[in-house]
Structure 1
Amino acid sequence: MKLEQVIKHFVTITKHKLTVMDLCFKVGMVEQAFLHDLSKYSPEEFIPGVKYYQGNKSPNAAEKLENGFSKAWLHHKGRNKHHFEYWIDYSINYDEGLIGMKMPLKYVLEMVCDRIAASMVYSGKDYNSAIPWEYYSKREGQVIHLHPETKLLLEKLLIINRDKGLKKTLAYMRWLYKHPYLYDDRVYKG
């Protein structure tokens, strides 16, 4: 492992974490800010992150290309509730197969902060408010196991960010965070 790559990866994930923290603080989510992505510093994620470091996108993609899967990503999504993949489970109706469970509001909001921050960090000076939506919408047509209400809120927030900018998006997210009953009527409270 080259020291230069260790430093670059550490700087990238720390910049991302600090950007998410800033966004979460602006929404009022102090706990989410501090806990966000701590697993990226674990050996299971940090070592592959260094090995597959690219600088302009997640190292998980390069690990998937080489191995057919990313062990670091499997570790990450299983420990971080702001990823919708954490919330995929079998339906109680056995014929439906895998479905997305409705995510608690705080994790949906953290997911939006995460997507915006990742776009900012990886795009650098080329960042604009449309990039998080463009990245998300590239997967249109793929099977994504998102609960319909979670999907609706995620898309709404990304579109507000695209069309009205970050300041308006964060203001709406802060308002929604203070009024969770508008979203959290039937959701796991974990």
Structure 2
Amino acid sequence: MTDANSDPAKPVGGVPIWLEDFAYDAACGIPFVAMITIAAFMILGLVLRSARTGQSVYAVGGNPVAAKAVGISVGRVTILAYSASGFFAALAGIYLTCRTGTGDPRVGNAMTLASIVPVVMGGTMLGGGVGTVFGTAIGLALVSVLGNVLNYMNVTTFVQWVVQVIVILAAVSIYVARSRKL
């Protein structure tokens, strides 16, 4: 006979109640998480559009050989981009931990596809060099509305994933067709 607490599929541990409260708290009717997300989008958008480092990220993403030829430190920019990505992934992980109240590492597995869809819908090329933070924000808004509508209609999670894949394929097809015209 095994103890219920020794089940490897059952998450163990928890988070302090104040962390769970933070995930749901709001100021003036606006959730803290929405404020943090908007601030992060605005800061990142300004950096990518206005700062030399942001422009270097686009150059390295578009063509690292050409970027190196014009004097951009490809290694430095790559490390910076991966560091920023890790920072924002950590923020998302902390938020998810606050929302679920547990530190189970498998909780986010189902969100892998859902995290790519808004980026692709927003016009970002996964190969690099093309895309904007504003486009990703618009893609996020569209995917959120689509998800809410599908949930409201009681559509199963599997069908929602299929819809997300169809949306990705449509967005990529539109991007490819637009690229060929250019």
User: Structure 2 length normalisation: TM-score?
Assistant: 0.29
Specify which structure has the higher proportion of helix.
2
Q: Whose Rg is larger?
A: 2
